[in-house]
Structure 1
Amino acid sequence: MQHEMQACVPGTPGDHLMAVLAANAREHGNAVAMRERERGIWQETTWQALLDQVLAAAAGLQARGVAAGDKVLIVGDNRPALYFAMLGAIALRATPSPAYPDSTPEQLLGQLTREGVRHAVAEDQEQVDKLLGLQDQYDGLELIVYDDPRGLEGSTPAHAIAFTTLAQQGRQCLQQQPGLEQDLLTRAGSDDVAILLHSSGTTGAPKGIPLKHRHVLFAVRSAAQAGYFGVGESHMAYMPIAWVGDFIFTIAAALALRFTVNIPEKQETVQRDLREIAPTVYFTSPRAWSTMLTRVQVGMAESTPLKRRLYDHFMPYAVALERRHLAGHQPGLLQRLWRGVGELLIYGPIKDQLGLSRARHAYTAGEAIGEDIFLFFRALGLPLRQFYGQTENSALCAAQEAGTVKLHTVGKPFPGMQVRISDSGEILVRGGNVFDGYFDDDAASAEALQDGWLHTGDAGHLEDDGQLVVLGRVSEVVYTTGGARFIPTFIENQLKFSPYIKDVCVLGDGRDWLAALVAIDWDAVGHWAQERGVAYTSFADLSQQPPVYQLIAGLMRTVNAKLPAPTQIRRFVNLHKEFDPDDGEVTRTRKLRRGVIAEHYGEIIDAIYDGRQSIEARAQITYETGESGELRRELAICDVGAAEARA
């Protein structure tokens, strides 16, 4: 397997993504590399056809002025043309710089300005219009390549071109210049930047994180050596292309391990398409696993009485077996036989409905996952495991081994990667997967990289068997006025284990006691309310219903029981809206921007700590058009110990 994973000796100048792609086309040219569902039909692209598309994109981009060192903005949902263009830019030694598809014009402007972007590849009219709307503020954009022509045909701006036209021009260049193809295959080097990703920007402007060919290939090969995934996996590309996970899985691992990448028709059809493909490797966030569990629970609640009785028997049975298995106990013959019956009647059908019937590798990362959620999916028979990584270390650093899964750890480092804990309790990482420094930010680079070690900013510890425990961000360790030490994210994650809480911001830094701002989960709480006959008309109305306050207070009391008294939550508010990335309250990966939240909800926070029972809240909201408005609502303030005592 090791020979199959490498195009040449790792670390040498010729070991790069284009060399791996060329080897795949040469040795496995007729095998399927990519599928895209288009108008209900899966269209297949072989490795040879993928290479041809990438070379055509590279030649076309070069003909349009893209050169080594240029930054190429990539914006849109997962589409083959965007990946072709991304790899085409890489072949030219230019650097793809992806943005989230729901980025606001202001966020795109910041990225264009900071990186001096001259070329962009956009999915459709929506993204093109965003870029064109910035012309008065940024006149450096010379080329826009778009994939979907709908809405643009007949009114194409002078400096915009369809991807199909660009690729056709590229093919002409390849025909007219016999040596160009080989040049494009060998121009890149292992020490070139393959992708420019970005930090979440929770405390300011996002930092650029350049990952080189050698970083991402080292990470993928190391993870494969540890059995994290293998050659020939089937993978669904639905994660945002601006997130490191998508680049590592859909580009780096797909090339190095010859994955078949499956692209859904659109984001709204992911679940349907996932079921048809049934990938062998599946990775998503704890929040997505929680949403999936909620969907199962809602579906079972609405099914026939017989199915509900079977579910209510077999699922607790499987969870109990899995809990005992994780504690080191092996099931007996009768237990295995009865579990087999459950597989036939309940577990198998549920996995089939979720599209995970073939999943050999299932992972979660990004934040802590609830014990109940984790146990549920493992009880179904999915080999769900946790892993740990950051953009700065190519997303792959440590993972739970199949036979040593613990509920509270993220596993052991992959081969060739080292982890240690500093005297201050910070997790430090060293290995070939670690980046060389931030883009155009020497001060931040010097702070993050010291003596060859990446300072992750995460607090944690290593257990005696070498497994890593992640506690939260070092920067988020705060204190009450009484000196009680706590990490807000740790408590928030405990609360978000419930499907009824989508987001929560724990308060208490420099205060006498802790409080919380809660954004309920609209779908889960809405279904809960319907089942109990609680009437509501909107998100804001639902959030303020007394039974909903009682529900959330009960969840908080459960979490409080696990916390020291000085760090228990005393009061909370159910907000009348979700935290919104367009309002700057969370990042695109839903990390809290605490400074913005403190500013937006300052009056509510003051009311909580003043002892008031309610407050008229005003919230600034940003619509999809970019216009803003104000939302007003009377909000109750609830004592956790007395949920009924509300105005």
Structure 2
Amino acid sequence: MNGARPGSLIAALARNAEQYGDRIAFRERDFGIWQQATWKDVRDTVLALAAGFEELGVVPGNAVIVVGDNRANLYYSMLAANVLRAFPSPIFPDVPVDELETYTRFGNPALAVAEDQEQVDKLVGLRERSGRPKVILFDDPRGLLRDRPEGVLSLDEVAARGKARLAANPGLAADLLSRCQPDDIAVLLYSSGTTGLPKGIPLRHRNVSGGIENAEKGGYFRPHEELFAYLPTAWVGDFVFTLGAGLMLVATINIPERQETVLQDLRAVAPTFYLAAPRAWDNMLTRVQVGMADSTPLKRRLFDYFMPLAVEQERQRLAGREPGLGGKLLHALGEILVYGPLKDQLGLSRAERAFTGGEAMGEDTFLFFRALGVKLKQFYGQTETSALSAAQSEGHVKLHTVGPPMPGVDIKIDDSGEILIRSASVIDGYFDDAEATRKALVDGWLHTGDAGYLDEDGHLAVLGRVSEVVRTGAGERYIPNYIENRIKFSQFVRNVAVIGAGKPFLSAIVCIDLEATGHWAEKRAITYTSYAELSQQPEVYELIAGVLQHMNASQPEGLKIHRFVNLHKDFDADDGEITRTRKLRRNIIEERYATLIAALEGTADSASFDAEITYEDGSRGKLSRVLAIREVPA
């Protein structure tokens, strides 16, 4: 964009209100109707909330807890904290009250902002345990109009108080807008905590703005995008790609009515920039396949003819070979009959910039969406780098890399194979953790903890976590996560844990994908009443054996999966088996399923397992299950 880059999100907000005041900044669906706010409206609301927060005791250096799904008022509250040189600390909305203290231990959070009664109740429970936050503000008033706990107020009430302060003090608005500095913390996020207590990761305003500037220079962002705010607010992808980019590049941020309406609201918005995790793209592909299977015979025939054609053309295009005139004419016809209508149905008709990251994506899914005409690309980043480090660019897309470093980003590989990054988007250190900072940041380079390499074109390939490099009993070196991601390329596998460190061979604990596998079973008249029953069907075991057999075909002999079990349930964050960002907590899985792992090492064709279950009232019980164990065919 023209002019100097704003040094902070609040400077960007002030600029937007001054130069683009009448442009739509936020659109939020409420009872089916899109409510709009201009940049002037947003500035005024943020200043009113900031004036109210200050009256409630928020001071520079404080954390402000934010918990709930995507809501305009929650984003405004984050910015209001920034105005006061405090910082938001968003928490995943499904975090139970027992874990809240872990995610609120930094920044002396005396004030919290909650979406609704459910989150207010959790925060009240946290206050009873830890004594904070003293003040809890809520957005949705349902269930909170009467009999509120002490210190619980509505955001509307606080905004009204702030407006009164601003009206009584004409110079206060300008004063508030001038306080925030580039070195201030913009947001406090947390690491996934796969191997221990999650670390606090403070992103400063200059980190966020620097990362977005790098991305814009590389063509990954453009001014005035239409963004879709549905990602978890506690994930770096939402803060940087939605709120940060929305402010810095004067975009329009569209917010769905609720998580249950995301798909229909996505179609109504048709964003120009769309980011989703690989699993979300997999689910979208599954939805298309299920929909086409249930469609009319004519539509199925058109889909079955044109989609393989488009996929093959895209495969050739990625190999540097453009289709001839006949191929181009067929593709144009396919655009009219199949590709265009599908993109419109999915809400991707305007998605000029579509990205995926966080883990590896399956080749089939990647090729499908690119063949459809969605210019899907992979990117790589971590919370510590403001999520912006490397990304593919159109015309230079490779299936098995995440692209070259972005402009302004230096990447190198050290002698151990670890990826090191240096950029303005990299944090200065972890919150109140000098030892972790000392290990991660050396001579200006961030040690990412990821293993990878740069290919002959300077494109980065990411293999997995360095800490997860292990050896089999025979000494074969491998990274479990790399193999797991390749197995999860299948639509029928939701989660998987590969077991093999110090073992004679590799085995796998597989969690099937209920939707995809359930639809597969229904088409074959296989009856079931629950996830557990479906997972143990002999036909489903044959299906998963085929998935593992396919993966084994590209593995060296010592790193093939030999035996597997279909688990009776998916790995669950509430059970501590995965993090809120769906990363395996390997030590917990290996401890909890030790009896299964022992059976996988042997020759038994089944194993008895006492499954611990948690009821809705919080009480726990045990349920004994017999799980089948199968060999993977050679």
Task: Using structure 1 for the length normalisation, give the TM-score.
Answer: 0.97
- Counterpart amino acid of residue 448 in structure 1: A
Of residues 144, 150, 153, the one that matches 2:142 is 150
Partners of 1:624 and 1:591 in 2: CA distance: 24
Among candidates 242, 245, 248, match of residue 234 of structure 2 = 242
Taking a change above 3 Å as real, the CA distance of residues 465 and 476 of structure 1, as seen in their structure-2 partners, is: same
Distance 1:415 1:624, change over 3 A: farther
- 1:163-201 Cα distance to aligned partner (Å, 9 max, x none): 000100110111112221111101010001000001000
Amino acid paired to 2:384: E
Name the CA shift for 1:626/1:185 in 2 (closer, same or farther; >3 Å). Answer: farther
What are the within-5 Å matches in structure 2 for residues 158-237 of structure 1? 158-237=150-229
Superposed displacement of residue 114, structure 1: 4.7
Amino acid at match of 1:218: G
Q: CA deviation at 1:32?
A: 0.2
Conserved 8 A contact 2:269-2:347: yes
SS of 1:282's equivalent in the other structure is strand
Question: What's 1:124 paired with?
Answer: 116
In 2, are the aligned partners of 1:113 and 1:138 still within 8 Å (CA)?
A: no
- For 1:530, the aligned partner's letter is E
Q: Structure 2: which amino acid aligns with 1:59?
A: A
Render the CA deviation track for 1:462-490: whole Å, top value 9, x for unaligned: 01111111111101110011100111011
> Is the 2:228–2:271 contact (alpha carbons within 8 Å) kept by the matching residues of 1?
yes
Cα distance in 1 between the residues matched to 2:398 and 2:448 = 22
Which secondary structure does the structure 2 equivalent of 1:134 belong to? Answer: helix
Between the two proteins, the alignment pairs up a number of residues equal to 634
1:254-276 Cα deviation digits (max 9, x unpaired):
00001100000000000000000
Aligned residues with identical type, % of pairs? 56
CA distance in 2, matches of 1:555, 1:123: 41
Partner SS state of residue 197, structure 1: strand
Contact 1:416 1:432 in 2 (8 A): yes
1:72 equivalent in alignment to 2:64: yes
Q: Deviations over 1:531-554 (max 9, x none)?
A: 011111110000000000000001
Displacement of 1:243 in angstroms is 0.2
Q: By how many angstroms is 1:625 displaced?
A: 4.5
Q: Please show how residues 10-89 of structure 1 align to structure 2 within 5 Å.
A: 15-89=7-81
Aligned pair partner of 2:467 in 457, 468, 475: 475
Deviation readout 1:41-99 (Å, 9 max, x if unpaired): 00000000000110011001001111111111100000011111110001001111110
Of residues 537-546 and 246-255 in structure 1, the stretch that sits farther from structure 2 once superposed is: 246-255
What aligned pairs does 1:216-295 form with structure 2 within 5 A after superposition? 216-295=208-287
DSSP 3-state at the match of 1:136:
helix
Alpha carbons 2:63, 2:106 under 8 Å: kept:
no
Query: In the alignment, is residue 343 of structure 1 matched against residue 342 of structure 2?
Result: no
Alignment of 1:523-542 (within 5 A): 523-542=515-534
Residues 540 and 633 in structure 1, CA contact (< 8 A), matched pair in contact too: no
Code of the aligned partner of 1:615 = A
Q: Distance in 1 between matches of 2:269 and 2:126?
A: 39
CA distance in 2, matches of 1:261, 1:57: 19
The change in CA–CA distance for 1:625 and 1:448 in structure 2 (over 3 A counts) is farther
Contact 2:127 2:134 in 1 (8 A): no
Q: 2:568 aligns with which of 576, 595, 599?
A: 576
Please give the alpha-carbon distance, in whole angstroms, between the structure 2 residues aligned to 1:168 and 1:97.
24
Letter aligned with residue 529 of structure 2: T
User: Which residue identity does 1:533 align to in structure 2?
Assistant: A
Distance in 1 separating the partners of 2:110 and 2:618: 24
Q: Distance in 1 between matches of 2:367 and 2:225?
A: 25
Give the secondary-structure state (helix, strand or coil) at the position aligned to 1:324. Answer: helix
The superposition leaves residues 104-142 of structure 1 with CA deviations (integer Å, 9 ceiling, x where unpaired) of 111112223354321111100000111112333211321
- TM-aligned CA deviation for residue 448 of structure 1: 0.4
Whether the aligned pair in 2 keeps the contact of 1:326 and 1:406 (CA below 8 Å) is: yes
Q: CA deviation at 1:631?
A: 3.4
Partner of 2:5: 6
Match for 2:232: what amino acid?
A: P
Whole-Å separation in 2 of the counterparts to 1:625 and 1:367: 35
In structure 2, give the amino acid aligned to 1:374. F
C-alpha deviation, 1:632, in angstroms: 2.8
The 5 Å alignment of 1:614-625 reads 614-623=606-615, 625=617
Tell me which amino acid in the other structure corresponds to 2:247.
Answer: L
1:155 deviates by 1.1
Root-mean-square deviation over aligned CA pairs: 1.1
- 1:610 correspondence with 2:602: yes
Q: What is the one-letter code of the residue matched to 2:385?
A: N
> Could you list the per-position Cα deviations for residues 571-618 of structure 1 after superposition, in whole angstroms to 9, with x for gaps in the alignment?
000000010000000001100000111121111111111322112222
AA partner of residue 35 (structure 2): Q
Counterpart AA for 1:557:
Q
* Aligned equivalent of 1:421: 413
What is the CA–CA distance in structure 2 between the aligned matches of 1:314 and 1:349, rounded to whole Å? 13
State which of 349, 373, 387 in structure 2 corresponds to 1:395.
387
Contact 1:582 1:622 in 2 (8 A): no
1:598 aligns with 2:597: no
1:645 counterpart residue number? none
**Structure 2 residue 626 is the aligned partner of structure 1 residue 630:** no
Distance change (3 Å), C-alpha of 1:623 and 1:89: farther
Q: Secondary structure at the match of 1:101?
A: coil
**Contact map agreement 2:61 2:107 (CA 8 A) in 1:** no
Q: Secondary structure at the match of 1:456?
A: strand
Q: Specify the code of the residue in structure 1 equivalent to 2:383.
A: T
- Larger displacement relative to structure 2 (428-437 or 115-124): 115-124
SS at structure 2 position matched to 1:492: helix
Does the CA-based 8 Å contact 1:515-1:571 persist in structure 2?
yes
Q: Which moved more, 1:116-125 or 1:358-367?
A: 116-125
Instruction: Report what 2:313 is aligned to.
Output: 321
Distance 1:112 1:410 in 2: 33
Alignment match, 1:10: none
SS of the residue corresponding to residue 120 of structure 2 reads: helix
Unaligned runs of 5+ in 2: none
Whole-angstrom distance in 2 between the partners of 1:192 and 1:66 = 15
**CA 1:563 to 1:366, structure 2 compared with 1: closer, same or farther past 3 Å?**
same
Conserved in 2, the CA contact under 8 Å of 1:600 and 1:619?
Answer: no
Structure 1 unaligned blocks of 5 or more: 8-14, 643-647
Task: Describe the shift of the 1:283–1:625 C-alpha distance in structure 2 as closer, same or farther (beyond 3 A).
Answer: farther
2:352 is equivalent to residue 353 of structure 1: no
d(CA) in 2 for partners of 1:120, 1:497: 39
| Matching of residues 374-413 of structure 1 within 5 Å | 374-413=366-405
SS at match of 2:633: coil
1:215-267, Cα deviation, whole Å (9 max, x unpaired)? 00000011011000100000100000000000002211100001100000000
Question: Do the aligned residues in 1 keep the contact of 2:103 with 2:190 (CA within 8 Å)?
Answer: no
CA contact (8 A) 1:583 1:620 kept: no
For each residue in 1:387-416, what CA deviation from the matched residue of structure 2 results, as whole angstroms up to 9, or x when unmatched? 000000000111011111000110011111
Instruction: Kindly report which structure 2 residues correspond to 1:360-509, keeping only aligned pairs within 5 A, or say none.
Output: 360-509=352-501
